[in-house]
Structure 1
Amino acid sequence: MTQDAGHPRPLLVRPHWQDLCGEWGYATDDHDRGLAEGRHRDAGAFTRAITVPYPPESELSGVHEPEPHPIVWYRRTLRLEREPGPDERLLLHFGAVDYRARVWFNGEYAGEHEGGHTPFTFDVTEAVVPGGEQVVVVRAQDECDDATQPRGKQDWRGEPHDIWYHRTTGIWQPVWAEVVPALHVRELHWTPDVPGAAVAVEVELSQRPDPAVDVHVVLTLGDEVLAEQTCRADRRDGRWVIAVPAARHQMELSGLLWTPERPTLLDARVELRRDGVLIDAVTSYVGLRSVGVRDGRFLLNGRPRFLRLVLAQNYWPGSHLAAPAPGALRREAELAKELGFDGVRVHQKVEDPRFLAWCDRLGLLVWSEMPSAYEYSPRAVERLTREWLEVVARDRSHPCVVTWVPFNESWGVWHAADVPEQRHATAALYHLTKALDGTRPVISNDGWEHTESDIWGLHDYAPTGESIRERYAGPEALARILGDRPPARRVALLGDPVRRGQPVVLSEIGGTSLRPAPDEAWHGYGTVGSTEELTEGFRQLVDAVLDNPELAGLCWTQLTDTEQERNGLLTEDREPKVPAETIRRILTRPARSVPAEAIDAARRAARDR
């Protein structure tokens, strides 16, 4: 695997790009006068500095003002490392700006984007000053009291309370510039077909090619070329199926498949050529794997797999939702793996794609979840849907992403049991997601009040393992849980969803806090006074789920302490509260619901002897 996981867009890479992170000018605009004052053309208001991509509420930004500012401005001057030549374009990329962004380049309006968690790009070629200094200005609007805005766990109050954290306003993912050919690959998507021994590639071009061009695709594993195909493109969008003959050999297939234990990735190169002349070239990668559900089990590559997930807030004390450094994204994935988890449920956050790239490389399953709004209205549904479409488009080629979760715990659809519109919203997002990507399970509303879901995720903060054993003791007990005896105060299923062998996953359990400080307002879902108690409580709860033949997986709350939420297995500084090998030993013993795990464990033990 040669692909650069540190590139800000790791699934579509060109080698030359200019990082625009670092020091920018900064100004607040609490009374919304900046537009009238012409700040996009006047440097006078930018008397302070901020370090991008850290939000101004955070310490690493250099601003460190936790109080809300509904509008903030950024200004950056730069010299282009390479200016666009004839038949070339200059693209300005933003990883994420929370929440509504307007952008100017050299005083010329470039465009705007709404949605605080997804990327956007503007073509600023016509505004370039040849041979001169370039100026980028960004206006970011983020109103903390707008409950129709998808915000996840960012607090709407002045100070964090309960399970909500400091806000992340403005630029919080990389900003970068790139010179590209006028005709270039704009978007690239991969869909593996394991039974068909093939990969589908979707290519969107920047414009309709006239005349047509050749799209040349090469897939390699190390030095071996697995597939090479040339396709003819005479319009902007094209989709082709690339056969991978090596994947037809079933006895050799395991060496090509992506799994957490063996995260094999195929390098990909896509070239645009016209009459043999190279126009554009990008590199990417593909993971050959399939995911699905059947007979109450989650399937990876057609085989039942017990899910051992951990709830990941992916929040850092010095930088909030932004990672403190690119290496921190890799380390977050490594820590989950070291503890013995095979996946993360990224909670109420759309994570930086570089984190997903590390999950692809290291072998970590990901449940991708949309940050919630807190008020139901047509406007909230429109905002959430638009941004969720961008999330799915950005991330559907990552092999690590195995489940989509558009809603969590009825946040933003609080009255779904009584209000038909709110039930329709969760069902509609389920079906819309399936229409965009039919290759992954989708959960309409994780935790409870499922309408249509491929996995029934239940949140159960039972205090002891014994209570888990009693509550889920056999198929009849599980049927009661799904019917009229839910683990929470809300029903598990709404209406009469189609039953098609959905697995039941306890997608939040645990939440135990170790020795909380007396003045902490929110400790967790239970507290213990010693490392030994934390270890034993973890063991009892995990054992109860692993011993249950009806349950398909678990998700432990949570990976790290976050703000006042002190229920992590790691501290906020990523130090373990219990030795990693202890947690790993408890987690990784075979699950009764997947008998093959015991067989595999016995084979490994025999090999070790």
Structure 2
Amino acid sequence: MKKLVSCLLSSVCLATAANAQQQQWHLIKDRIVTQWAEKVDPKAPLPEYPRPMLVRSNNWQNLNGLWSYAITGKSQPQPSTYDGSILVPFAVESALSGVGRNVGKDSLLWYKTTISIPASMKNKEVLLHFGAVDWQTEVFVNGASVGKHEGGYDPFSFNITSFLKKGGKQEVTVRVWDPTDDGPQPAGKQVVKPEGIWYTPVTGIWQTVWLEAVPKTYIASTKQTPDVDKHTLTLSADVQNVQDGDKLKIEVLEGDKVIAQQEAGAKDAAVITMSNEKLWSPSNPYLYNLKVTLLRNNKPVDEIKSYFAMRKISMAKDAKGVQRMMLNNEFLFQYGPLDQGWWPDGLYTPPTYEAMVYDIDQLKKMGFNMIRKHIKVEPATYYTYCDKAGILLWQDMPSGDRGNGWENRPGIYDHQTDKDRSAASEGYYRKEWNAIMDALHNYPSIVVWIPFNEAWGQFKTVEITEWTMKKDPSRLVNSASGGNFYITGHILDLHNYPHPAMPSPELFGEKQILVLGEFGGLGLPVEGHTWQQNKNWGYQSFKTSDDMFKRYNEFTQRISQLIPLGLSAAVYTQTTDVEGEINGFMTYDRKVDKFPVDKMKEANTKLYNPALAK
């Protein structure tokens, strides 16, 4: 009887604690927020399937929601009591987390929740997935450590099957340490003391956490690479616990219709011939569906669904002997904004999927065909939406270990300075850049890799660039956007504020593609829509939208004059205001467009006229 009463009381206590946590959470409104912040459901934030490039059956469970959190000293053990509730997957410093506290290098951030394993996962291998956690993570299940991970921008997972208890609740605890810019790891634009172009720290879980049930032998990932010239798709898979004789059956579909198929050994790469293929481009972002089945003795063991596109990005000379950026063997001028991917309410994390796609849709409406994803990596759902929308992406590696000299003088190759990074700093960079490229390889929208931005931690430039090119020969590599220039990689990238400019085609046009990697930055504060009252800035400030647009239009006219001289692409700073920067097309809360969208589209789309390149 005592035991029964104790169990009933425990259940009541658990329910009461859960209700208390629910009541404790609230959106922190000490600063501006987006219109989507109020739509966040604390019971099910960001409920979308988080990995659209590899979809298994519906046997998965989203773990986003209210967890317990605590902040302790760095050397302290797991706390016995917690400080309150936090809304996962929003970083602890964000308004949407409901916490809004800084952590820092001398403290640890702890998370705890209890989960139930659905009956549908019984007799399966149970994987615990994290989209991204910044930075150093250790995960415990029922008190036992199941694994560690270092890296703030790449997904990771642990097989937790052997750590689960029979029946009942399972306790998941996560320990995170993140020194922000006080450590050797890639940290992007977050700093302990935000100012100027450097922003609020992001600590802990900031992408979806989820469970997945898989068979003992399963497809962990695929790598698919199109070859437009050879009319083929090459596909390989990472199969866990593979056995001799296991095979992969790959089917290519147009909608639901199978148009090509191939079988190969589970450890081998399959080369699939494509006939009369439809090429992917911003004007026609056609995606083929994929079904990959793991066979053992001709019986299905595992099956996943994915997609791919037939598209080619390359470098080739035009009639004047100047190197051009080619899409599907034709020159297409690429023009888009520098896109930080920050949110006033979620920091790294958009409040909802609807909010995330809003930015992309707005840029399409403004007439852009490209986005430079600046010093940040996005959730997988972002890249899939760009694939569907037909947006070309330039992907930066998040920077770290800033401080080497900057010799931004295109035309002079004898004044470069590579930073002498510590062994730890270099090791973290290499490991994470490799992981990011692996995680993002399959997205056709990504056409350019950027290992370094300006001189922010730029080191061993030639070696890193050539390694990047060798790892992924299917894309172009922009070795150091606006940084210290070397004759390496496919692209020479100039940053010039505020007006457009370009590297000299006479000096470099035969060797590298010439691009303007950053320009613009025209600033306009909008009252009631700024992150802070003072210290707002742009590279050139204006008091009215009309005056700023007039200047912007002059810039696009100048770009149209540079294209026939050899300019292949340009990147305007930037999509939205970010904290103290007020140089966005939209305010930070996305509530005000500073320029009329239709006028933007008219000015921008003129740049895609093929006649300009002749």
TM-score class, shorter-chain normalisation, is 0.7 to 0.9
Rounded to whole Å, the distance in 2 between the matches of 1:321 and 1:119 is 15
The equivalent of 1:428 in structure 2 is 463
Question: Is 1:506 the equivalent of 2:516?
Answer: yes
Question: Is 1:577 the equivalent of 2:613?
Answer: no
The equivalent of 1:218 in structure 2 is 251
The equivalent of 1:76 in structure 2 is 113
Rounded to whole Å, the distance in 1 between the matches of 2:463 and 2:535 is 37
Residue 242 of structure 2 aligns to a residue in which SS?
Answer: coil
User: Shift of residue 262 of structure 1?
Assistant: 0.8
The equivalent of 1:162 in structure 2 is 196
What whole-Å deviation, never above 9, does each CA across 1:436-486 have from its counterpart, x for those lacking one? 1101111111113122121111101144x6xx4xx77x845xx3xx6xxxx
Question: Contact 1:291/1:439 (CA < 8 Å) preserved in 2?
Answer: yes
Match of 2:114, as an amino acid? T
Rounded to whole Å, the distance in 1 between the matches of 2:256 and 2:168 is 44
1:187-206 map, 5 Å: 187-206=221-240
Rounded to whole Å, the distance in 1 between the matches of 2:192 and 2:461 is 24
User: Shift of residue 123 of structure 1?
Assistant: 0.4
Structure 2 counterpart of 1:308, from 311, 319, 335: 335
The equivalent of 2:584 in structure 1 is 568
1:28-427 map, 5 Å: 28-34=71-77, 38-39=78-79, 44-66=80-102, 68=104, 70-82=107-119, 84-86=121-123, 88-157=124-193, 160-210=194-244, 212-233=245-266, 237-247=267-277, 256-295=278-317, 296-375=323-402, 376-413=421-458, 422=459, 425-427=460-462
Aligned length: 536
Rounded to whole Å, the distance in 1 between the matches of 2:234 and 2:558 is 41
Question: Contact 1:524/1:567 (CA < 8 Å) preserved in 2?
Answer: yes
Question: Contact 1:204/1:238 (CA < 8 Å) preserved in 2?
Answer: no
Rounded to whole Å, the distance in 1 between the matches of 2:139 and 2:103 is 24
User: Shift of residue 117 of structure 1?
Assistant: 0.7
The equivalent of 1:443 in structure 2 is 478
User: Shift of residue 526 of structure 1?
Assistant: 0.7
What whole-Å deviation, never above 9, does each CA across 1:288-345 have from its counterpart, x for those lacking one? 1000111221110010010111100111000000111122222221121111110110
What whole-Å deviation, never above 9, does each CA across 1:68-107 have from its counterpart, x for those lacking one? 3631000010111236444x31100000000000001111
Pair 1:203–1:500, CA change in 2 (3 A): farther
Larger mean CA deviation between 571-580 and 143-152 belongs to: 143-152
Rounded to whole Å, the distance in 2 between the matches of 1:83 and 1:127 is 18
User: Shift of residue 258 of structure 1?
Assistant: 0.7
TM-score by length of 2: 0.84
Question: Contact 2:132/2:155 (CA < 8 Å) preserved in 1?
Answer: yes
Rounded to whole Å, the distance in 2 between the matches of 1:32 and 1:74 is 16
The equivalent of 1:589 in structure 2 is 606
Question: Contact 1:561/1:571 (CA < 8 Å) preserved in 2?
Answer: yes
4+ residue stretches of structure 1 with deviation over 6 A? none
Pair 1:525–1:361, CA change in 2 (3 A): same
Question: Contact 1:163/1:522 (CA < 8 Å) preserved in 2?
Answer: no
User: Shift of residue 149 of structure 1?
Assistant: 1.6
Match of 1:227, as an amino acid? A
Residue 439 of structure 1 aligns to a residue in which SS?
Answer: coil
What whole-Å deviation, never above 9, does each CA across 1:405-454 have from its counterpart, x for those lacking one? 011001013xxxxxxxx3xx222221111121101111111113122121
Rounded to whole Å, the distance in 2 between the matches of 1:533 and 1:219 is 52
Question: Contact 2:248/2:294 (CA < 8 Å) preserved in 1?
Answer: yes
The equivalent of 1:23 in structure 2 is 66
Unaligned runs of 5+ in 1: 248-255, 414-421, 483-498, 599-609
What whole-Å deviation, never above 9, does each CA across 1:362-381 have from its counterpart, x for those lacking one? 11011111111124322211
Match of 1:381, as an amino acid? E
Rounded to whole Å, the distance in 2 between the matches of 1:305 and 1:521 is 39
Rounded to whole Å, the distance in 2 between the matches of 1:511 and 1:320 is 21
User: Shift of residue 276 of structure 1?
Assistant: 2.6
Match of 1:117, as an amino acid? Y
Rounded to whole Å, the distance in 1 between the matches of 2:357 and 2:281 is 18
Residue 349 of structure 2 aligns to a residue in which SS?
Answer: coil
User: Shift of residue 545 of structure 1?
Assistant: 1.0
Question: Contact 2:133/2:207 (CA < 8 Å) preserved in 1?
Answer: yes
Question: Contact 1:83/1:130 (CA < 8 Å) preserved in 2?
Answer: no
Residue 276 of structure 2 aligns to a residue in which SS?
Answer: helix
The equivalent of 1:7 in structure 2 is 49
Residue 577 of structure 2 aligns to a residue in which SS?
Answer: coil
Question: Contact 1:83/1:90 (CA < 8 Å) preserved in 2?
Answer: no
What whole-Å deviation, never above 9, does each CA across 1:249-270 have from its counterpart, x for those lacking one? xxxxxxx111111100001000
The equivalent of 1:459 in structure 2 is 495
Rounded to whole Å, the distance in 2 between the matches of 1:117 and 1:509 is 26
Rounded to whole Å, the distance in 1 between the matches of 2:533 and 2:361 is 32
Residue 119 of structure 2 aligns to a residue in which SS?
Answer: coil
What whole-Å deviation, never above 9, does each CA across 1:343-373 have from its counterpart, x for those lacking one? 1101110111110010001110111111111
Rounded to whole Å, the distance in 2 between the matches of 1:147 and 1:427 is 25
What whole-Å deviation, never above 9, does each CA across 1:209-249 have from its counterpart, x for those lacking one? 14x1221111111243221112233xxx32110111233xx
Larger mean CA deviation between 380-389 and 572-581 belongs to: 572-581
What whole-Å deviation, never above 9, does each CA across 1:504-541 have from its counterpart, x for those lacking one? 11110100101477953240111011111111111111
User: Shift of residue 590 of structure 1?
Assistant: 3.8
Match of 1:289, as an amino acid? R
Question: Contact 2:340/2:375 (CA < 8 Å) preserved in 1?
Answer: yes
Rounded to whole Å, the distance in 2 between the matches of 1:510 and 1:596 is 21
1:525-564 map, 5 Å: 525-548=539-562, 549=564, 550-564=566-580
Identity of aligned residues (%): 33
Question: Contact 2:452/2:483 (CA < 8 Å) preserved in 1?
Answer: no
Pair 1:433–1:526, CA change in 2 (3 A): same
Rounded to whole Å, the distance in 2 between the matches of 1:238 and 1:169 is 40
The equivalent of 2:538 in structure 1 is 524
Residue 146 of structure 2 aligns to a residue in which SS?
Answer: strand
Residue 245 of structure 1 aligns to a residue in which SS?
Answer: coil
Residue 572 of structure 2 aligns to a residue in which SS?
Answer: strand
TM-score by length of 1: 0.84
Rounded to whole Å, the distance in 1 between the matches of 2:596 and 2:103 is 37
**CA-atom RMSD in angstroms:** 2.1
